[in-house]
Chain A
């Protein structure tokens, strides 16, 4: 029973981080139909910036928002200076269907190697501001710490904030309209290019926060967030790639699944499980287990 509770708690905590990364991917996909693989690189650079802040000021609480802002700036820059010029030029020929994917891959390489050159490839540590020790309830020590609370709390806060912005504000309306029907949005006076950049900024911030939250439990290196990207992608697909709620639930589901697999089967399959889940979801219900809208085969 205790083991079960532990597995659930760990699953929730990990899942929260996957949700954040999934959120970042969904935000961009909704507005530009692009899976931003470079998100791993953007997040890692933002996390390094957060690490710099922590190293210099010793203040984790300051690092989090600064990393988020850095992530936002990088995200907006990528959209404005790379993605938008590309979509104008590469719309025909053999490369058209895959051009944006390849562009994000190139960007990922630049960010990886750039980060490695600036910060070197060794693993950096980022200390959590709160205890990372398991919580004791009665006689049992659960593998769930204050840090995990921080993670879940922050992820929840981010998601609620985005949800609020998207559903209740004019900015959110503009974001959604630009994603669904950019031409109609333009004809209604919405500055779609600017709005799209804002969407990417939000995504960048979400990815950065995910990176800063996940790093205390592991280590920071230029490639350390690649796996998180894969998990985030699987979570996003589970949730249907279209809705923010889907991303959130997908992340939790993935986290719990991985946790239980780890508990009952062993950790050797950690990398294989997401792949299997991904293939299963894409084959059986491509619109996502949770998403309901039209299936996405295009």
Chain B
């Protein structure tokens, strides 16, 4: 067991190093995209945990991201906390909300949970519109800070975003992968496949579900804070319903129960924007077409993925291998 954990840790450190090297070689646009990918990785990871492992569907993780983003922003403006601490506040605040929501969610399943979280996704951002201290429609600014001076004058803002986002993503993903490999991860999967059997071996199904919701919400909160960093502010329009859908799409596209899938999903999502962007300029597409083409492509991809490779392409390959062995 320890061997695995050590290996994993080394793997992550190595990955971090590679990301650092990449960061030094690419331009600002790619750096910003990298930061977006990192943000999506965290957000999608929350879905992998919640839906892929614990089997609970949430259409409202975008709203929980909003909670994290707003918490971080308010922590900064009210208490003047430094950047890392605002992120911690985001995680804790979102996790707290998630634990409350999780208690309700544990008693719902399938369509009911989906509908409830959908209502949440619609309701929460609109709350921000009502209260001035939450910034109303314009939102609140978030001071993303700037690179410490010792890093040099030309250290671009976007590199700064990239560093922070990537670091947050690495850290969080490492933590989650540890949790998923632990007995918590196993108990979530047990409850997901057969909660009665799980109870019989001593797993408290409801409690394990609430735990999953709490943790996943904390993760989503971090993603929200990272988004606030990258955007330089928070507002209801930064966390629309389509964000929640994008997270689920990213998770499904790459195998909903594999954590490494989060990276693929995130790359696909950001890659889609890039693809549409270049298509738009190449063919001088109208604005309307361009904006919606991305959503169209992503949605079509989602449908194809759910119908043809519901558990991710990795699952298909595994199936084929197993079938191969059988017919031999």
Which residues of A are interface residues toward B (Cβ below 8 A)?
Answer: 29, 33-35, 37, 82, 85-86, 89-90, 93-99, 101-103, 105-110, 112-114, 116-117, 120-121, 226-227, 230, 233-234, 237, 241, 268-272, 274-275, 278-279, 282-283, 286, 296-298
Whether the Cβ atoms of B257 and A97 lie closer than 8 Å is no
Judge whether B137 is part of the interface by a CB distance below 8 angstroms: no
Return chain B residues, CB-CB under 8 Å to A89: 307-308, 310
Return chain B residues, CB-CB under 8 Å to A93: 257, 310-311, 315
Return chain B residues, CB-CB under 8 Å to A98: 51, 55, 57, 110, 114
Whether the Cβ atoms of B248 and A102 lie closer than 8 Å is yes
Chain B residues touching A, majority SS = helix
Judge whether B44 is part of the interface by a CB distance below 8 angstroms: no
Using A97-B55, A110-B299 as known contacts, say yes or no to A116 and B288 having CB atoms under 8 A apart. yes
Return chain A residues, CB-CB under 8 Å to B199: none
Q: Mark B139-173, 1 if CB is under 8 A from A, else 0.
A: 00000000000000000000000000000000000
Return chain A residues, CB-CB under 8 Å to B88: none
Using A95-B252, A98-B51 as known contacts, say yes or no to A37 and B114 having CB atoms under 8 A apart. yes
Query: Shortest CB–CB separation between residue B301 and chain A, in angstroms?
Result: 8
Which residues of B are interface residues toward A (Cβ below 8 A)?
Answer: 51-53, 55, 57, 59, 104, 107-112, 114-116, 118-120, 122-123, 126-127, 130, 192, 241-242, 245, 248-249, 252, 256-257, 288-289, 291-296, 298-300, 302-303, 306-308, 310-311, 315
Whether the Cβ atoms of A101 and B57 lie closer than 8 Å is yes
13 more contacts with CB within 8 A, not counting A105-B59, A298-B110, are A105-B302, A110-B300, A113-B294, A113-B296, A113-B299, A230-B115, A230-B122, A234-B115, A268-B130, A269-B130, A274-B119, A282-B104, A283-B107
Whether the Cβ atoms of B288 and A120 lie closer than 8 Å is yes
Query: Shortest CB–CB separation between residue A222 and chain B, in angstroms?
Result: 8
Top 10 nearest A-B pairs (CB, nearest first) are A109-B299, A106-B302, A94-B257, A35-B111, A90-B310, A93-B311, A113-B292, A113-B296, A113-B295, A106-B303
